[in-house]
Amino acid sequence: KNQVEQSPQSLIILEGKNCTLQCNYTVSPFSNLRWYKQDTGRGPVSLTIMTFSENTKSNGRYTATLDADTKQSSLHITASQLSDSASYICVVRGSGNTPLVFGKGTRLSVIA
Amino acid sequence: DAGVIQSPRHEVTEMGQEVTLRCKPISGHNSLFWYRQTMMRGLELLIYFNNNVPIDDSGMPEDRFSAKMPNASFSTLKIQPSEPRDSAVYFCASSRGQPEGAFFGQGTRLTVV
Please indicate whether, in this complex, the C-beta atoms of B43 and A42 are within 8 angstroms of each other. no
Nearest CA in chain A to B37: A104
Q: Determine the Cα–Cα distance for residues A39 and B28; give it in Å rounded to an integer.
A: 26
- Name residue B50's amino acid: N
How would you classify the pairing of strands B31-38 and A72-77?
A: unpaired
- Output the pLDDT for position B68: 96
Site from A100, A101, A106 to mutate, B interface, most B CB atoms within 10 angstroms? A100
Give contacts of B100 with chain A, Cβ < 8 Å.
32, 34, 46, 49, 91, 93, 100
Please indicate whether, in this complex, the C-beta atoms of A105 and B42 are within 8 angstroms of each other. yes
Which residue blocks in B8-87 are alpha helix, DSSP H? none
- The CA distance from B92 to the nearest CA of chain A, in Å, is 9
Write out the DSSP string of A61-83: TEEEEEETTTTEEEEEE-S--GG
- Mean pLDDT over A7-13 rounds to 97
Residue A88 has pLDDT above 80, yes or no: yes
Q: Determine the Cα–Cα distance for residues B83 and B78; give it in Å rounded to an integer.
A: 12
Report pLDDT digits (tens) over A15-68: 999 999 999 999 888 889 999 999 998 999 999 999 988 999 999 999 999 999
Contact A59, A78 (CB under 8 A): no
3-state helix, strand, coil in chain A (%, to 5): 5, 60, 40
DSSP code at position A98: P
Q: Let me know how long chain A is.
A: 112
Contact B62, B81 (CB under 8 A): no
A8-17, B6-15, B40-49, B76-85: which range is least confident on average? B40-49
Three-state DSSP class for B4?
Answer: coil
Q: Determine the Cα–Cα distance for residues A79 and B16; give it in Å rounded to an integer.
A: 49
- Output the pLDDT for position B1: 62
Please indicate whether, in this complex, the C-beta atoms of B106 and A41 are within 8 angstroms of each other. yes
Give contacts of A34 with chain B, Cβ < 8 Å.
100-101
Q: Let me know how long chain B is.
A: 113
Three-state DSSP class for B73?
Answer: coil
How would you classify the pairing of strands B108-112 and B10-13?
A: parallel
- Mean pLDDT over B84-94 rounds to 96
- Output the pLDDT for position A8: 97
Average pLDDT, chain B: 92
Contact A28, A2 (CB under 8 A): yes
Please indicate whether, in this complex, the C-beta atoms of B99 and A43 are within 8 angstroms of each other. no
- Output the pLDDT for position B97: 72
Please indicate whether, in this complex, the C-beta atoms of B100 and A42 are within 8 angstroms of each other. no
- Mean pLDDT over B16-24 rounds to 97
